[in-house]
Structures are given as C-alpha cells and as structure tokens.
Structure 1
Amino acid sequence: MDDVELPLVYTWARARGAGVRRRQVAADGRRLTRGLYVSRAADDGLVTRCSAWTHVLPPDAAFGLSTAGALLGTDSIPLPEVEVVLRPRPVLPRRRGLTVHVRDLHAEDVIEVHGLRVTSGAQTFLDLAARLPPAELVATGDALLRGGQLTAAQLERRLARAGGVRGVVRARECAALLSGQAMSRPESLLRYWLVTSDLPVPEVQVPVLDRRGREVAHADLGYARYRVAVEYEGRHHAEPGQFDRDVDRYSLMAAGGWLVLRFARRHLGAPAVVVERTRRALLSRGWRPVG
C-alpha cells in the first residue's frame, strides 16, 4: 500500500481516518502534543505551530501574551508553551505545551494575524503588564506602535475598561512613556532609563543640522539644546557598509558640535552607567539640575 499524502499539519485521528499508517506518521510528523502533528516538510516557525494548534482548540481561542507578542512583531521571546486566551467556560482545554488564560474578551480585543486569531496590541500590552518589568513593557509597547499593531487611542480605550485587573496600574504608568519612533528594543530601554531618571526627557530621532540648516544625520536619542546624542550600536553596525556610514555620520555630528555617547549590548544590563554617562555629558554642555 502506498503512503497517503499528508497535509503540513494534521491530527492523529484525521490521518488515521484517511488511511495513513502508523509508520508513515512516525516518519513524517513532529509531535506537538497528544494527537497533533506538524509535517517535517513544514517550517518549525511559530506561525506554523500556532496554525497546528487551531486544530485542537475551541474556535473562539485567541493566541495571547508572549505568543501574541511574537506574532505581532515585537522583540519579545515567546515562552516554550503556546499561550492562548479563552473566555470563561466550565472546562478549559489542558494539553502539554499549552497554557490557557481566561479573559472576558470583547470583539475589539481580538484581531487576525497570519490567518490566526490573536489578542490585539492593546490587549496584549495589558496582559503582559502583569509579567514584564516596566522597561521591557515600554519596549514592547514601542514595538507595537512602530509596527502599526497599536495606537494611543486603542490603548486608552482598553485601559479605560480594564478596571482593577492585574497589571493595569503598571500598564497605565508605562502607556504614558510609549513612543512609536523608537526603532528597536535597545533604544526603548535606553530611553526608559533616561526618562525615569532625574535628567531631562530625551528627544527621539533627533535631526542633526549643518550650518545651512540641512539635515546631515540623526541621533537615536538626544538633547538638541545641549547637542548631546545617545546612540545604541547593535551588531549590524560592525558590517563594513554600515561601519563606513557610521564613521561619516559621526564625523558630521562632531563637526556640528555634537557630543555622541555610544552604547552597546553590554550596557543593556547597566542602566546606571547609561544614566551617569549621559548626566556627565549634559553637565559638560551647561545643563544643571533644578533644585
């Protein structure tokens, strides 16, 4: 008997009902959970795995929390278990590899992404507020804004009806600090540390002008009044083309009288260092703390 053609995702019951033999399932499928398989011919990405989970979940299930964050394009790393959100019901699905959260979702709290039901940017932000530290929550909110998965109005509406749910206080505090102009998680972290310090609030994506008023560069963060720029440099800055562009950009900024502070990955665990070096730079340019 020839093997039966299998889809990319399938259940054990459906495969056996189509006449697929045990040895073919064992050879072809990667087992996600009891009775649920993804073909070895499919990629092992999150979208594929979530698509597979829809075969055993209730129709109203929505992928949420860290799983939603990843599907919505934030830099957050999802937990190993797929997280879904369901409305209250007498019996909740229980499977290895799945974490179920109960929420009283409204229609606007669920959107479609990659053909999947996913909690909206606002709902995801609120759910993660109970889990993430403030700096990471701001970075997540920035990413949602940057990716078009969240607006200030949407977040305001969701938080207005959040009542006393867990995490809502942190969500409201961090909502006021979000900026869709931050281009990466590290930039968001640097900005959070500076905004929550006693230093002036930095500007985002600050234009650097030459003597004729032409924009010759821009800074990730900065203080135009004091001509102090704060830059994060990831690994891509070491690439030859990018390195050459950076040299040119920093030369132009220096020629315009800018003092550039450059931070790297090693500084992401040292907020005090970032704040103190920025403080010293501002003091050198004439800033003085109030009081």
Structure 2
Amino acid sequence: MVRLPRVPSQLRFLPFRGGDAVAAGLLTRRMLTGPAWRPMLPGVYAHADAFREADHRTWCDAAALLLPPGGAIGGLSAAYLWGANLVSVDAPVTLVVPRTSRLRAHPRLRIVRSGLPPDDVTRFGGLPVTTPLRTAFDVGRWLPRAEALVAVDALLSRRVVKLPQLIDYAAGRSGWLGLPRLREVLALAEPLTESPMESRLRLLIIDAGLPPPVAQHDVRDAQGRFIGRVDLAYPRWRIAIEYEGDHHRERAHFRQDVHRLNALRAAGWLVLRFTADDVLGHPGRTAAQIATAIAERR
C-alpha cells in the first residue's frame, strides 16, 4: 500500500514560503519538488489541493509573502479585495513597493514603485493592502480612461470610498503621475452605477456629445406608484436606457423584464436596450440610436 505524504496542517490551505517551511522542519527541499506542492512564485508554494489557478485571492496570498517592508497589494488587486472584481482570470497581482525595492518582475506580478505613506496602507484578511481611498486614487490614474472610470465607479458603488473624499485626497497630491487622467475620471464618476458595462455605456453617451443621463432613475406612474428603476434615463423626455446582461436571459428575469417593460411603455416611456456587443462593438451606432430618440422626444 502506497503511503500518501503527510501534509502539515499549517501548510494545507494557504501559500507559504518554501524556505521557511524547510527551516521549520515541516518539509524538505526534495519534498517541494513532488506532486503534492505547486510552485506559484519564486520561493512560494501551495498545497495541490488548495491551489486555485483562477482564484485571484490565492495569488494575492502568495504575492504578499514577497512584499518588502513598506509594500502593499494595490491597484486592481486591492480593488478586488475591496469588493470590485475587475481582474481577469490570469491577471497579475499588483504590488506597490518602495522605489528602492529590489523585488524582481514576474509574469504573475505587476510591480509599481511608488511613494506609499503608512496611512495609505491597512490590512484585509491579514494582507497588507492599500486603503480604499488610495486604491481608488491609483486605479483612477494608472488605468486607461474607460477602465479607470469603471474601476472608480465600482469602488464608489460599493461605498468603500466616497467621491468627495476622493476628490479631496487627489487635490492634496499635486505633482503625482496620472493626475490629469484622474481628474477627468472624477468629473465623470457616478457612485450609483451598478455594473462595469453601465459605466461604459454612460461614457459612450457622454463621449458622443449627448446630455449626461441620470443613473438609476426611479420611474413612477401618474399616480406616483413605483414602476421600476432604470439603469440610465432622461426623465425630461421619458427615455430609459438599459444595459442587458446575461442574467436577463434567465427565465425569472425575463418574465420580470417583460412586465416591467410593458409598465414603462404604458407610462409613456421609450425604452432603449443595449447589449455588450452594442456598447463595445458598435458604439457609433448605439450613440446614434440614442441621439435619434432624444431628437424625436424633444
């Protein structure tokens, strides 16, 4: 009978530094090369049963073991920990480290050398992470314009940071790289946005030169009874603009949507519905349809 290798309890669930495990007598160097252990980052391993390739939190746990003093998980990785999941399956973990750090580049790490005052760092689940305020400040100035707006909107909508706080924080950091981008994003940010595609749709509308729509507008009938909440709206012209995600295809959502759509139409509202293909693949056509609706209702 083949005896399975014993797995020390302290190494069973979380990534660990191989050198520390060897020094503590929990494993040998040779054991680390066996199938029970998965190398993740230089010198960092995880037990095969605990390893989740697509779990960004697992990669954050591993990356934190390499952080130098004064460093923290930041950027979109910090946003992920604060509840704004905008990272792809194979996204590297963003680490903010002192400018003097010698931490080496790795395909699963995005290393940003930057000033990081102690007040900008806190802990989340035992990990050093940039505060929600510093996280929003960073993603708003590091990312391309549309992605930056999506990330800032997502953090604002989760109420881990407030827009006035973020504006004041940015105002106190003149000279930092990316501030012009951040200021533009803050002027466009909408805390009521409920999804990344809503942010992109709203930006598409604004970039087309159309009036900024109202986010998450409550529609009521002539008697003041609540009909529904629409993603974006022009209440003056009774135009509703909706983003249709995959969840709307589910049977229960489909039935609710049909009833809600009929009620909106009965109340005199024009409802425009768009998909990801409309927003990402045909922005000009989408903007033109909205512009036509506005012209007809003015």
Residue 225 of structure 1 aligns to a residue in which SS? helix
Aligned to 1:151: 162
Aligned to 2:287: 275
Task: Write out per-residue CA displacement over residues 136-157 of structure 1, whole angstroms, 9 at most, x where no aligned residue.
Answer: 2111111000112221232123
**Is 2:96 the partner of 1:111?**
no
* 1:137 aligned to which of 136, 144, 148: 148
Shift of 1:95: 5.0
Aligned to 1:193: 204
* 1:60 aligned to which of 70, 82, 106: 70
Task: Please give the alpha-carbon distance, in whole angstroms, between the structure 2 residues aligned to 1:58 and 1:192.
Answer: 38
Conserved in 2, the CA contact under 8 Å of 1:3 and 1:24? no
Task: Write out per-residue CA displacement over residues 170-202 of structure 1, whole angstroms, 9 at most, x where no aligned residue.
Answer: 101110211111110111111112233322221
**Is 2:297 the partner of 1:285?**
yes
Shift of 1:35: 1.6
Aligned to 1:37: 45
TM-score by structure 2 length? 0.88
Task: Please give the alpha-carbon distance, in whole angstroms, between the structure 2 residues aligned to 1:49 and 1:118.
Answer: 14
Aligned to 1:3: 6
Residue 163 of structure 1 aligns to a residue in which SS? coil
* RMSD between superposed Cα atoms in Å: 2.1
Identity %: 32
* Runs of 5+ unmatched residues, structure 1: 287-291
Task: Please give the alpha-carbon distance, in whole angstroms, between the structure 1 residues aligned to 2:211 and 2:41.
Answer: 52
Residue 30 of structure 1 aligns to a residue in which SS? strand
Paired letter, 1:76: L
Task: Write out per-residue CA displacement over residues 46-104 of structure 1, whole angstroms, 9 at most, x where no aligned residue.
Answer: 22222222233224221112322322332422563322112232x42115333321221
Task: Please give the alpha-carbon distance, in whole angstroms, between the structure 1 residues aligned to 2:270 and 2:289.
Answer: 12
TM-score by structure 1 length? 0.89
**Is 2:250 the partner of 1:224?**
no
Task: Write out per-residue CA displacement over residues 215-273 of structure 1, whole angstroms, 9 at most, x where no aligned residue.
Answer: 11121101111010000000000000000000000000000011000000111213222
* 1:162 aligned to which of 156, 168, 173: 173
Conserved in 1, the CA contact under 8 Å of 2:240 and 2:271? yes
Aligned to 1:86: 97
Shift of 1:23: 5.2
Residue 237 of structure 2 aligns to a residue in which SS? coil
Aligned to 1:20: 27
Conserved in 1, the CA contact under 8 Å of 2:204 and 2:279? no
Flag as ranges the 4+ runs of structure 1 deviating above 6 A.
Answer: none
Residue 46 of structure 2 aligns to a residue in which SS? strand
**Is 2:211 the partner of 1:178?**
no
* Runs of 5+ unmatched residues, structure 2: none
Residue 93 of structure 1 aligns to a residue in which SS? coil
Name the CA shift for 1:22/1:211 in 2 (closer, same or farther; >3 Å): same
Name the CA shift for 1:95/1:227 in 2 (closer, same or farther; >3 Å): closer
